[in-house]
Structure 1
C-alpha cells in the first residue's frame, strides 16, 4: 500500500466508513522510530568525537608521559643570545722584587746610569750621624793619576783605573777629600783596596786652601762593587793630624761612610728603575 504526501490512504472500515490502515500506520511508525534512533546515534558519535578531540588537545597542551618529554620538549629551544665582541682579558704586570744594588755596581754592562761629579756628589751638605759637612769643590777626570799621590798612583794603574772623581767637604776647621776610582770589575776594585798605598790628593776649593799636602793626615780606603774609594782628612789651617787626633780621624771616617752611601745609592737607584720597567 502506498501513501500520499498527506499521509496514509484510508480504506473501508467495519462501519462502512473509511478506516485507517493500521498495518501501514504501524510500519510507518516503525520507520520513523528507526530514523530518530539513527539520528540520535549519529549525534552521540559526533559529540563523542568532539570530546575525544578535546581530551587530546588538553593532553598535547599540558600533559606528558613518564619519560619527561612534554610539549615543550618538542619545541625548539630558545637560541642562546649571541655574544658581543669578546672583552679583553685582564692583563697583569709581573711584579718582581728589585735586584740587589750590587748586581748593578758589580757589572759595567748594567751599571750604565750617568756618572759625573754632580750625580755622585749631589749634596751641598753631607750629613753623617748628625755631623754636617759643607761641599766646597768637586772634580772628575778620565785620568786617574792626577787624583792620586804617592803609592796610590801605581796601584790604580796596575788595576786599570778608568775614571777618578773627587769632592771636598768642610766642617769646623776640618776638611776631607773623598776620591772614587771606577774599575771594570769588582775584582779590580778589591785588588786596589788590598794593595792600597796612600793616597788620594786633597782637592782645595772655596775658602779651603791646599791641605794635607806636606803634613800628616788621616786616611781610609774601602771598595764596593767595581768602585774603590779613599779619604784624606786634616785641619784646614795646616796643622798635622797625628794618630791621637780624634776629630781628624772622625772626619776621615765620615768621608768614607758618605762615599759608601753614595755608591750604594747609585746601585739602589738603578735597581729601582729596572724593577719599574
Structure 2
C-alpha cells in the first residue's frame, strides 16, 4: 500500500480512517453536503483528526518494533551467538561475544621417579617389607604364568646380619641403612629377595660394583618354608636402581644343588628380581605424581 504517490486519486478503503469505504463501494464526497456543492467542514475536521491519530499509532508501533529488535539483539549477544547482521552490511555496531580467553598455563611436570629414588631426602614414603614387597605369608603372587606363594618377610637396620661371605663388608662400607627380605616358593624352588637401602644412588651403585660372586644375602626360611641353600649350591643375582641394591638367592627346598641346566630355578630368580625392580620403580612413580617439581 502506498500513500501520497502518483498524485490525487480515488479515495481507497482505510481501516484507520473513519467513513472510508471498502473497494468498489460508493462514498459520499466530503466536499458536498446535502447536494449544495460546499465543503462539509465537520467531516473534514473528523477526517483530519483520524489521520493524526493514525500517525501517532503507526509511530508508536514502529518504536515498539525497534525496542523489540533491540531486546532480541541483547539476548543474542549475551548468549554468545553470532552477531546480528545490520541493514546494508555497514553502519551497525558490533560486540565481541566469544568465550573469555586466558593465557595458557600448565602445572609443573612431576619429578622423574628415578630422581626421587636417587636420594633419601626426596624418597620419603614409608618403607618396609609390607610397602615394598606386599602380601601376607601364604598369599599368592602371580608373575606371568607363574604363581608363587609368599613365605616369611623380615626387616633389619643391621644390614650385615642379613648377608653372607663378602657382602656384609660391602654393605657396611657404603652405608647400608636397612635390609628388607622376603621369600617366595614355587614347585620346590625357593627364592629370597633382599633389598639393601642406602642414602643415595651413588652409594647403591658403589655397593653393586664392589660385590663379587661371593657376596650373597642370607636365605630367609620359616612360615612354611624349609631352610634352603644350607650347604647346597644356589644361584644368586645382584643389581641396583636408585638408592637400592637388590639381590636374590635361589635354591631347591629339598637341598639339591642348582646347576646351569635348572631352568626352573633360573626363571624363578629372574622373575622375582624383575618384580623387585618393578616394585622399586612403582614406589618412585607414586611419589612423583604426589609431589610436583620444586
- TM-score normalised by the chain length of structure 2: 0.60
Partners of 1:249 and 1:152 lie apart in 2 by 21
1:159 equivalent among 162, 167, 174: 174
Aligned to 1:142: 157
1:70-110 CA-to-partner distances (Å, cap 9, x unmatched) read: xxxxxxxxxxxxxxxxxxxx999852332210111001111
1:226 equivalent in alignment to 2:238: no
Partners of 2:173 and 2:244 lie apart in 1 by 15
1:53-202 to structure 2, matched below 5 A, reads 94-123=106-135, 124-197=139-212, 198-202=215-219
- Is contact 2:191-2:249 (8 Å) kept? yes
SS at match of 1:149: strand
Unaligned stretches of 5+ in structure 1? 1-89
Aligned to 2:284: 267
- Is contact 1:216-1:241 (8 Å) kept? yes
- TM-score normalised by the chain length of structure 1: 0.64
SS at match of 2:282: helix
Runs of 4+ in 1 over 6 A off after TM superposition: 90-93
Give, in angstroms, the shift of residue 231 of structure 1. Answer: 0.1
Aligned to 2:231: 214
- Is contact 2:111-2:293 (8 Å) kept? no
Partners of 1:209 and 1:112 lie apart in 2 by 35
Partners of 2:145 and 2:116 lie apart in 1 by 30
- Is contact 2:166-2:216 (8 Å) kept? yes
Give, in angstroms, the shift of residue 236 of structure 1. Answer: 1.0
Unaligned stretches of 5+ in structure 2? 1-101
Aligned to 1:256: 273
CA RMSD across the alignment:
2.2
1:9-48 to structure 2, matched below 5 A, reads none
Give, in angstroms, the shift of residue 276 of structure 1. Answer: 11
Q: Which has the larger radius of gyration?
A: 1
Aligned to 2:12: none
Give, in angstroms, the shift of residue 259 of structure 1. Answer: 0.9
1:189-216 CA-to-partner distances (Å, cap 9, x unmatched) read: 1111111132011101222111012110
1:167-206 CA-to-partner distances (Å, cap 9, x unmatched) read: 0011111110000001111111111111113201110122
Partners of 1:163 and 1:172 lie apart in 2 by 30
Aligned to 2:258: 241
Aligned to 1:33: none
- Is contact 2:119-2:200 (8 Å) kept? yes
SS at match of 1:221: strand
Q: How many residues align?
A: 189
